[in-house]
Amino acid sequence: MVNPLVLLMLGSAPLLQDPTRPLNLEPEPRSPSVIETGVRQPFRLQAVMHNGRDASAIIDDQRYRLGDRIGGYRLAAIGRRQVRLEAQGESLELRLFSPLISQGVQ
């Protein structure tokens, strides 16, 4: 015998929401996909690790060390909270956290 309460819960599952999440009445903006724009979104820096001798970075779920190739870029520098990628005179800096306060505003 199937419990009617279970059926009721299964039928209303799409209506359930995390009770700690604020209500969002507006739909979340959707960023265009690579297919729609034809442009790859920037790399995502997830972690920076230093062990005294070596440094490495986790970018898009992969671990890289200085000099490694990431797409068409070379990992040129690893800082405490950022990395620098270089390719054909172009430099791209990835940061772990965006600044909370603009540098021009104090």
- Quick: pLDDT tens for 23-50: 665 555 554 444 444 555 578 999 999 9
pLDDT at 82 over 80: yes
Copy the structure tokens of residue 10: 């299964």
Lowest mean pLDDT among 19-28, 46-55, 63-72, 83-92: 19-28
For residues 90 and 48, what is the distance between their CA atoms, to the nearest angstrom? 22
Find the helix or strand (DSSP H, E) in which 11 lies.
Answer: helix 4-11
Q: List the chain domain ranges.
A: 39-97
Average pLDDT along the chain? 75
For the chain, counts of helices (H) and of strands (E): 2, 7
pLDDT at 19 over 70: no
Residue 75, C-beta contacts closer than 8 angstroms, at least 6 positions apart = 57, 64, 65, 66, 67, 68, 69, 83, 84, 85
pLDDT at 106 over 60: no
CATH 3.30.450.30 is held by the domain 39-97: no
Cβ atoms of 73 and 84 within 8 Å: the answer is no
